[in-house]
Structure 1
Amino acid sequence: MTAAQADLQIDRPATADGAALWRIARDSEALDLNSSYSYLLWCRDFAGTSAVARDERGEPVGFVTGYVRPDRPHTLLVWQVAVDGAYRGRGLAASLLDGLVARVRREHGVTGVETTITPGNTASERLFTSFAERHGAPLEREVLFPAALFPDGPHDSEVLYRIGPLSL
């Protein structure tokens, strides 16, 4: 954690954090916004594979949501990463991701990370590329969901980033 993050605490989300995570995702203007209900469920059912950064008042200012893939139990799928605008540019997303992967690795034996990124989302591309570099892990990319599969209007393709195996 950097000096600029010293006043922040990273831990597991609680159900009461769901509304704040929804607002952070909405305000990011980069993520697909899910229903507020889904963020409440995520904080309840996937708190063990997610992380939230809290300011000095305990309010969420960033988060990473993820889950261990049922058919690949050594793979953490990172669903969303978002940081409140006032806290961007401090390396908080990288700290959240590193901390979450370290915890899930200890608790679940995870050796790889996957995420999907739409082309042109340079912040996410940089975050996950630098994560792979920091952890000495190979990175593979392939289109997982072509744009034509999305039924709800124009949507960019989702490119799968597969990172691993992670070095110790």
Structure 2
Amino acid sequence: MTAVQADLHFDRPSVSDGAALWRIAKDSGTLDLNSSYSYLLWCRDFAGTSAVARGEDGRPVGFVTGYVRPERPHTLLVWQVAVDRTHRGRGLAGSLLDGLTARIAAEHPLTCVETTITPDNTASERLFTSYAARHGAAVTREVLFAADHFPDGPHAPEVLYRIGPLTHPSH
């Protein structure tokens, strides 16, 4: 953890964090905002495969949500990563992602991380390609959901980034 992050605590999210995660996602300006209800459910049902960074006051300032894929139990799908604007640019997203994958790898084998990124989201692309480099893993990319898959209007394609095999998952 960097000195800038010394005042932060990494934890599993709880239901009481759902509203804050929704706000951070909304304020990100890049993430697809899901219903507030979905963030509450995520904090209840997927807390074990998600992480939150808390400031000194205990409030969330960043998060990573994910789940272990049922059909690929050694793969973590990262759904969303977001950091409050007051904590951006300090490596917090990378630290959250590293900490989450180390925690999951300590509980059971983790050989791959997947996420989807729209072509215009260069910050996420940098986050995940630097994660792959830190963990000695290759990155493959393929369109998972084309623009015409989305029924609710214009949406950029979602490109699947598959990172693995992870050779250093607990850095």
**TM-score by structure 1 length?**
0.99
User: How many residues are treated as equivalent by the alignment?
Assistant: 168
TM-superposed CA distance for 1:108, in Å, is 2.6
Aligned partner of 1:72 in structure 2 is 72
TM-superposed CA distance for 1:120, in Å, is 1.1
In 1, Cα distance between the equivalents of 2:133 and 2:110? 17
Gaps of 5+ in 1: none
In 2, Cα distance between the equivalents of 1:148 and 1:47? 32
Supply the RMSD in Å over aligned alpha carbons. 0.5
Aligned partner of 1:40 in structure 2 is 40
2:58 counterpart letter in structure 1: G
SS of the counterpart of 2:58? coil
SS of the counterpart of 1:33? coil
Gaps of 5+ in 2: none
Per-residue Cα deviation, 1:79-99 (whole angstroms, up to 9, x for no partner): 000000000000000000000
Aligned partner of 2:84 in structure 1 is 84
2:163 counterpart letter in structure 1: I
Aligned partner of 1:158 in structure 2 is 158
1:56-71 matched pairs, under 5 angstroms: 56-71=56-71
TM-superposed CA distance for 1:39, in Å, is 0.3
SS of the counterpart of 2:61? strand
1:100 counterpart letter in structure 2: L
- Percent identity, please: 78
SS of the counterpart of 1:163? strand
